Amino acid sequence: MKRTAFFISDGTGITVEALGRSLLGQFEHTEFEYVIKPFIDSVEKADHLVSQINAVAELDGIRPVVIDTIVDVTVRTALKNANAFMLDIFSTFLAPLEEELGSASSYSVGKSHSIKEDDQVYKDRIDSVHFAIDNDDGGRTRHYDTADIILIGPSRSGKTPTCLYMALQFGIRAANYPLTEEDFDYGELPKALRQYKHKLYGLTIDPARLAAIRNERKPDSRYASIRQCDQEVTEAELLYQRFGIPYINTTHFSVEEISTRMMVEAGIERRASPK
C-alpha cells in the first residue's frame, strides 16, 4: 500500500518531520511519500495547502496522512478542511501538559529552534561544527587535546558525516583521521594519535559497500577496487583489536544510530541538550 504523508509546521518543520518519520516508520508494509511543508503560519497559506492536500487525495484515491505541529488555533482549524487523516501533535499533548503543570502554554511559534541571546547550547553546536570542519580528514592534529572523540577508519567509511552530525546535533567536538596503507604497513597507531588513544573510536564497513561508495568518487580505480577495500577494512579491524580501540560497523546503520551508539559506549554526554 502506498500513502502520501504531509508533515506541516508553522516553523522549520524539523520537529514534525522527525516525529512523523518515527511514527510512520513503524508501518513497514505501507510505502509513504513524504511531503514537508514548513512555515504554514497564516490562514491563507493553510487554505492553499488544503487545496493541495485535497488534490493529492483525489489523485491517489485515498486520503493522505497529515501530521502537524501548528500552534495557532485558527491555522489548525483551517487545515481541518482537508480531506485527510489529521494527527495534530500539539493539541494532543499541550492540553494534558497544561492540566498537569497548572500553567497555560505560551502557544509561541518556533520555540524549539529559536535562539536566545545567551544560548550556550547553540554556541556550543556552532563551535563544534567549526571544530569538525577544521579537524577533518587528519588535516590538522594539533587541536586533538580539546577533542571529545577522534574517529579513525578507512577513507569513505563515514567519519566526516558522523563528526558533523555529532557537532550540529549534540555539540560534540569530534575530529577524524583516515587510516592509510602506510599506517597498516607499520602496524602501529599513527604518531599523531598515540597520546589520544583513550579518545579513539574506529569505523569499519562492509568492503563491497565501501567499494560502491568509492566508485562514485573514483570509478574503476585501484582505490575503489573490492580487493583494495577488503584489504583496508581487514587491516583496520586488526589495528582496532591490537590496540583495544572500540569500533562500529557502519554498513547498516544511519548516521544518527552510529553517533548515538558511539556516544553511549564512549560515555560522552550530549552538550546540545536543554539545561
pLDDT digits (tens, 9 = 90+) for 195-215: 999 999 999 999 999 999 999
Tell me whether residue 153 is annotated as binding.
yes
pLDDT digit string, tens, across residues 166-187: 998 889 999 999 999 888 888 8
Mean pLDDT over 234-240 rounds to 96
Residues 94 and 195 in one domain: no
Same domain, 184 and 261: yes
Give 15's pLDDT tier (boundaries 50, 70, 90).
confident
| Beta bridge partners of residue 153, listed in sequence order | 178
In-domain check, residue 146: yes
By DSSP bridging, strand 31-37 and strand 85-88 are unpaired
**Residue 157, annotated ligand binder?**
yes
Helix (H) or strand (E) holding 248: strand 247-249
Query: 234 among the known binding-site residues?
Result: no
- DSSP SS3 for 97: helix
Of 52, 71, 101, which marks where a domain is finished?
Answer: 101
Domain count, the chain: 2
Is residue 64 scored above 80 in pLDDT? yes
CATH of the domain at 200: 3.40.50
Q: Is the pLDDT of residue 91 over 80?
A: no
In the block, cell 560534540 appears at 172
pLDDT exceeding 90 applies to what percent of the chain?
A: 63
Q: What is the average pLDDT across 230-254?
A: 96
Across the range 77-102, mean pLDDT stands at 87
- Is residue 207 annotated as involved in ligand binding? no
Instruction: Verify that 89 and 172 share a domain, yes or no.
Output: no
Helix (H) or strand (E) holding 183: helix 181-186
For 237-262, what is the mean pLDDT? 94
Same domain, yes or no, for 85 and 140? no
Same domain membership, residue 168 and residue 239: yes
Say if residues 179 and 232 touch (Cβ distance below 8 Å).
yes
> What pLDDT score does 275 carry?
37
In a domain, 108, yes or no: no
Do 52 and 163 lie in one domain? The reply is: no
Q: Global pTM?
A: 0.68
Please, which pLDDT band fits residue 118 given cuts at 50, 70 and 90? low
Annotated binding-site residue? 158: yes
Answer whether residue 272 is part of any domain: no
Same domain? 65 vs 154: no
Residue 41 to residue 72: CA distance in whole angstroms: 8
Q: Is residue 51 situated within a structural domain?
A: yes
> Nine-digit cell at 92?
494532543
Mean pLDDT (the chain) is 89
Do residues 87 and 190 both lie within one domain?
no
Q: Which of 42-46, 88-92, 139-143 is predicted least confidently?
A: 88-92
Domain final residue pick, 76, 101, 126 = 101
247 occurs within a structural domain: yes
| pLDDT score of 236 more than 90 | yes
Among residues 101, 136, 155, which one ends one of the domains? 101
Q: Are residues 158 and 224 in the same domain?
A: yes
- Within a domain: 274: no
Strand-by-strand arrangement of the 85-88 sheet: 31-37, 2-8, 65-68, 85-88
To the question of whether residue 159 is assigned a binding role by annotation, the answer is: yes
Judge if 242 and 148 occupy the same domain: yes
In a domain, 199, yes or no: yes
Does 139 share its domain with 244?
Answer: yes
pLDDT band per the 50, 70, 90 thresholds, residue 92: confident
Residue 187 annotated as part of some ligand binding site: no
Say if CB 16 and CB 69 are below 8 A apart. Answer: yes
Is the confidence at residue 84, as pLDDT, over 60?
yes
Parent domain of 81? 2-101
Query: In this structure, are 89 and 141 located in the same domain?
Result: no
Is 139 labelled as part of a ligand binding site?
no
- Structural domain contains residue 273: no
